[in-house]
């Protein structure tokens, strides 16, 4: 690689990184300079296959709040990641206003940063929006104008889950333009939504237009309830070759049931 130029300029340098072992969680912050609101922690499922197997994808499903990021982890994230980051941005003269996505690994030695993004996570955003009871647009518009009213941000006590329905072959090559069959509005339960990700409308039909096609999303009082609703919506929705993971949130459900016994 170094001598043969296999990867061009990218192959001229070796970077040795710490291997972080643990469970990942996504922390989204709404930032207005040095002020911020931390939205509920969520957890994405990045591998295509059940049991976290197979290649990485853009995200096969998520749920929030993710109990794995408990109060102690969130305190650690605030103190050791968020506050130094916002201080650093301010020190560089950056008046950052918007979403800050901190991808963390919860290791035996505390929370470590996997990545920062200056956008919402996808599909994490799909489970955060149903949990914000106040108007998210007002929050964003206020931040854009330099005003963040923490007390005006109301987060629901419930849970939300999203199951991502993908095209056959995704995350490898896949076909587009496959007709999607959607349930009637009256068959969509209260507190559930079909979010179009990779679709288009053509000739009065809804067709697939991407690898991750739909997000079957639901909110309920419990995680199990939100997952049940999202999966029942997935069963009523489809297109040729559609696939989705059937174990979104399962690790958390197992932890909950172990705790209950």
The SS3 call for residue 187 is helix
If the CB atoms of residues 188 and 230 are measured against ligand GLY, the closer one turns out to be 230
Minimal distance in Å, beta carbon 12 to ligand GLY? Answer: 27
Instruction: Find the residue with minimal CB distance to ligand GLY.
Output: 121
Q: How far apart are CA 113 and CA 76, in angstroms?
A: 11
Please list, in sequence order, all residues whose beta carbon lies within 8 angstroms of the beta carbon of residue 68, skipping any fewer than 6 positions away.
Answer: 23, 25, 41, 43, 106, 252, 255
Binding site for ligand GLY (CB under 6 A): 44, 59, 117, 121-122, 124
- Using CA atoms in the order 130, 132, 136, 138, what is the torsion angle rounded to 10 degrees? 140
Minimal distance in Å, beta carbon 121 to ligand GLY? Answer: 4
Minimal distance in Å, beta carbon 7 to ligand GLY? Answer: 23
If the CB atoms of residues 160 and 206 are measured against ligand GLY, the closer one turns out to be 160
If the CB atoms of residues 132 and 182 are measured against ligand GLY, the closer one turns out to be 132
H or E, element range at 88? helix 83-91
Minimal distance in Å, beta carbon 120 to ligand GLY? Answer: 7
If the CB atoms of residues 76 and 122 are measured against ligand GLY, the closer one turns out to be 122
Contact 45, 59 (CB under 8 A): yes
């Amino acid at each position: 690689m170094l001598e043969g130029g296999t990867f061009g300029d990218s192959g001229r340098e070796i970077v040795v990184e710490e291997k972080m072992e643990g469970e990942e969680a996504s922390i989204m912050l709404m930032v207005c300079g040095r002020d911020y609101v931390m939205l509920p922690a969520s957890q994405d499922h990045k591998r295509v296959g059940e049991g976290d197997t197979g290649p990485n994808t853009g995200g096969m499903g998520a749920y929030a709040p993710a109990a794995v990021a408990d109060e102690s982890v969130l305190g650690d994230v605030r103190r050791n990641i968020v506050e130094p980051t916002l201080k650093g941005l301010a020190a560089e003269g950056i008046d950052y206003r918007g979403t800050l996505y901190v991808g963390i690994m919860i290791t035996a030695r505390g929370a470590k940063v996997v990545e920062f993004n200056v956008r919402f996570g996808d599909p994490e955003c799909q489970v955060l929006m149903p949990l914000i009871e106040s108007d998210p647009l007002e929050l964003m518009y206020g931040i854009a104008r330099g005003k963040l009213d923490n007390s005006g941000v109301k987060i629901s006590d419930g849970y939300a889950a999203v199951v991502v329905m993908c095209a056959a072959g995704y995350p490898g090559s896949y076909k587009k333009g496959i007709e999607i069959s959607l349930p009637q509005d009256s068959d969509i339960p209260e507190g559930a939504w079909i979010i179009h990700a990779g679709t288009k409308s053509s000739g009065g039909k809804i067709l697939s237009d991407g690898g991750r096609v739909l997000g079957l999303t639901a909110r309920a009082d419990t995680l199990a309830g939100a997952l049940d609703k999202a999966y029942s919506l997935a069963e009523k929705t489809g297109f040729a070759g559609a696939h989705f993971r059937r174990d979104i949130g399962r690790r958390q459900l197992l932890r909950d049931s172990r705790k209950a016994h």
